[in-house]
Amino acid sequence: MISRIHWNDEWYQVNFDEELDISISIQSDGPQCFHSGKVKIRPQKIGDFVGSTKLGGQVNSYEVCFLPHAHGTHTECSAHIGLEDLHITDVLAKSHFICQLMTVQPKTIVNGDQIIDQDLIRKYLDHPVPPAIVIRTRPNGDSKRSKNYTGSNPPYFHSSVLEDLADLGVQHFLTDLPSVDRENDGGALLAHKAFWKNPNQRKTATITEMIFADSSIEDGFYLLNLQVASFALDASPSRPILYRLTHTGSQKLTY
């Protein structure tokens, strides 16, 4: 299905049959962080009932134990760090946004940490700034689909990056890192707070972590479909989908 969309006084064509899935699903051998351990998946058992056709049951029915913030791609709202009873499904009233995908190489600073700062983002950020930004980090390999980040002090964002993007009107921020903040920061959560304005001023803004954008997907502008499961929580497993945009000009289309 091919459609035309209008953004920033320009027209683009999008083919909805060509999806670029940048999510990592919830699975037992998937990525993990923050001492979460692996996802636990087991057949449901009640009396003589067993929820596995391989074990003789009539149907498959599995129990799944996971942490939305630690296993696979997830999208969170400001209630992640705030006291307000806000759910991710309340925040994402719509799911389609223009986004820019950019690839950056974190830089090593004096204490050995790897960070992404304002200079790196400003180098690649195009204008006008779209409502969603997707950051892919180097090196970029399939290991991100199964990596255990616990205790590895992964790269993170300087809070000024998230503050700048918030001031520029970015509503949805996506990254392949397990967190926008340092793994052990004493609870400071500076980048989260900077994006959500500590955290009550930007209730419709979201952060998505632990995506995986294959290196075959080129940097540039896309249409983003940000799908979340219907969890009444501050965060949910999510499935962001990208669609390539083809610029067709600035003229008004007639039908």
Segment-wise mean pLDDT, segments of 10 residues, the chain, 255 residues: 90 94 96 94 95 94 95 95 88 93 94 93 90 97 95 96 95 98 94 87 94 97 96 95 90 54
SS3 91: helix
What are the structural domains, with CATH classification, of the chain?
A: 2-24+73-249 (3.50.30.50)
Residue-level pLDDT at 255 = 47
Contacts of 47 (CB under 8 A, 6+ apart): none
Picking from 34, 68, 10, 22, the residue whose alpha carbon sits closest to that of residue 224 is: 22
Q: For position 54, what pLDDT does the model report?
A: 94
C-alpha distances (whole Å) from 45 to each of 56, 64, 116, 200 are 12, 13, 47, 43
SS3 162: helix
Bond preceding residue 106 cis, omega within 30 of 0: no
d(CA 90, CA 80): 13
Rounded Cα distance between 116 and 127, Å, is 20
Please tell me the predicted confidence (pLDDT) of residue 76.
Answer: 97
Residue with tokens 């000024």: 160
What pLDDT does 253 receive? 52
Name the amino acid, one letter, at 172. H
pTM for the full predicted model: 0.94
User: Which residue stretches of 15-158 are H helix?
Assistant: 88-91, 118-124
Task: Give residue 218's pLDDT.
Answer: 96
